[in-house]
Copies of this chain bind each other. A is one copy, B any other.
């Protein structure tokens, strides 16, 4: 049965009931239809236990890891064993939904619903971000058109336009053609909306004031004498904040088993920090005893960024970390081809487990307890499962089998019990680096301690930028690494647990509003394209509203 068919068999409980389960009165939410709501700010604070569980994973492979599915299933399992629980997830981007994926709300019996709405326009957050992003872009070009009082160098504008669409034809464009009444010609390009700095800002902001302060700090470009120009200089921080006033409020939905879930924010895990909003996580902490959240891609990307960028904003570190792995994916890390994953191969599995081992070690450095979730697939053999358990036991870590796709929460109660045990024991979070460290020291810490690399190499441009950042006073910010998700190194083909490699930083992108410095390694695509057969071709809606093709 397809995910959408499973989802359509469950009638969502009225969102007021889900809110009540989470301890929210009808006055504390704004309904968006019968099964979605936004939580009003400031967030009420009702729980004192406030345990935070971070779900991350090994380096993703084409075999699939099912991190969101495990996050949702674990949330349902915690509820099932009697714990007050909230799930916090990123919201899907429409571009990939129409392209490859057809949906991003979990799978099987571990889904958040109404999946059709969440995968399409949801409560309009992405669209508000697109509108805010492009209003700012139009105001920048209009400033230049109307006399350019600030002296903005049109060749050095950093602020790009965005759409929540996979549209490769907009990656590189020329705008302002058609004569003097139609703007000043210049090179430009569109990113996908989730790659906008505004998305990162929305996800890191505590409240409207913080949102406005961050927006005003955005560097939109440079003057002809290389001075940064900010949104504050343009005097439009108020208008851009106004456009995001509702998008800032976390969205409440439910799982198939009616566990409350906050689905809010979704910054690109490539060039931003890849975690749901701080306010969604805080809503969970404030309302439930256990909050389960996930971070984008593997523990080297989303996991690291959660610890070094998100934790200071949330104001709390995870009490336990779940690393998701599948037998299939570990076999790929051990050198098995996609077509051969159905065949038992314990030797390859043991070799590929080094990738998992590396991530366990990386997360343990932060001083938080770790458990491995083996996301069960039907072809997994007993020997293979035992091999992973043994491998983890050797590292002093439990590995627990979970069948969240097939059974929902019932398939993850063992995992839930281990998570509760770990989260309830005292732990002490140790950050990877100090804010006062230099940018180079921060990059070096991530590369050597988290990726297992040997060296960092900087391009001439990156070196020049580092000098200018010191001058501008931007060197106290954390770094946000942009690296391939497929390997611990910057070479996507290097699977398993490579060592001795060098990471090349070709450029930095200062994101002053988000409050981090992006370090670009390799090619980072900020506007995806559509495949030869986009998912959109198979989507339909009948006269009476029945939807198909969202997987």
A interface residues (Cβ-Cβ under 8 A, vs B): 30-34, 38, 94, 98, 120-121, 124, 127-128, 130-131, 134-135, 137-139, 141-142, 145-147, 161, 163-178, 181-184, 207-209, 212, 235-236, 238-239, 241-243, 245-246, 529-530, 532, 534, 536-537, 539-545, 547, 549
Contacts and interface: CB of A to CB of B under 8 A. Distances in A.
Q: Name which of A142, A176, A183, A542 has the most chain B CB atoms within 10 A of its CB.
A: A142
B246 A121 contact: yes
24 contacts: A30-B33, A30-B34, A31-B32, A31-B33, A98-B139, A98-B239, A120-B242, A120-B243, A121-B124, A124-B124, A130-B130, A142-B169, A145-B168, A146-B532, A169-B175, A170-B183, A173-B177, A182-B529, A183-B529, A208-B542, A238-B541, A239-B540, A242-B540, A245-B541
A119 to B, nearest CB: 10
Contacts of A146: 532
* Smallest CB-CB A-B distances: 10 pairs: A127-B127, A169-B183, A238-B540, A172-B178, A239-B536, A138-B167, A30-B33, A239-B539, A172-B177, A141-B169
A541 B242 contact: yes
A141 B127 contact: no
B138 A236 contact: no
A13 to B, nearest CB: 16
Given A130-B130, A246-B121, A541-B238, A168 B139 contact: no
Nearest to A32: B32
A135 B130 CA distance: 14
Contacts of A31: 31-33
Given A30-B33, A173-B175, A530-B139, A241 B541 contact: yes
Contacts of A171: 177-178, 182-183
B166 A529 contact: no
Contacts of A208: 541-545
Nearest to A182: B171
Nearest to A540: B238
A410 to B, nearest CB: 32
B165 A138 contact: yes
Contact of A33 (B32, B130, B141, B542): B32
Given A142-B534, A529-B142, A238 B539 contact: yes
